[in-house]
Structure 1
């Protein structure tokens, strides 16, 4: 069961990473998918901002949970939080 869990987790990370890359390079596929589903293209940056905001909140919560139980092993959480916050800020600056 553990092997299946790890495999699916890695696969999910790869698929989401590939999707994020397509969005970031401005590939036509994500835009066509938004068009097909009736999502106006002007909403795509908002959806990205909401996703980045969710990641920031998730990692803030993770760090708080570690500190609450006395764990000081938060370097990884701080790194992930920093990257998510940077993506959020840069996205906001880029899209206005």
Structure 2
């Protein structure tokens, strides 16, 4: 695995981990839009768990590449769903934020956890 891929995987893990923490801490900049978009409150904890699992998976992928690949794909799908949620809520300007959180994991995936 290249140094660049490692850096992107770690940056992605930090960003997604921070996003998970923000959901658990009910930071207004995260839960406010979730409520605005109509995401049921009962989902919030599970969304945080999914993000935390993705962040941990990216780190584990440094040692077991298959886990990193699965985590990066999961993160990409998770944040693709987040983009669709912003579109459904007609909050088009907010779509950039999930893209920004997904980008490092997608780059790490593209650079190759196995190579």
TM-score norm. by structure 2 comes to: 0.45
The gaps in structure 2 that reach 5 residues or longer are 1-23, 27-47
Segments of 4+ in structure 1 off by > 3 A?
Answer: none
Alpha carbon RMSD of aligned pairs, Å?
A: 2.9
The gaps in structure 1 that reach 5 residues or longer are 27-43
Aligned to 2:25: 6
Q: 2:108 aligns with which of 73, 87, 90?
A: 87
Q: 2:96 aligns with which of 75, 81, 84?
A: 75
Q: CA deviation at 1:70?
A: 0.6
Q: CA deviation at 1:23?
A: 6.0
User: How far, CA to CA, are the matches of 1:23 and 1:48 in structure 2?
Assistant: 3
User: How far, CA to CA, are the matches of 2:61 and 2:102 in structure 1?
Assistant: 21
Q: 1:57 aligns with which of 77, 94, 101?
A: 77
User: How far, CA to CA, are the matches of 1:78 and 1:55 in structure 2?
Assistant: 10
Q: If you compute each CA radius of gyration, which structure gives the higher value, 1 or 2?
A: 1
TM-score norm. by structure 1 comes to: 0.52
How many residue pairs get aligned? The number is 65
Greater relative CO (CA pairs within 8 A, separation 6+):
2
User: How far, CA to CA, are the matches of 1:23 and 1:45 in structure 2?
Assistant: 4
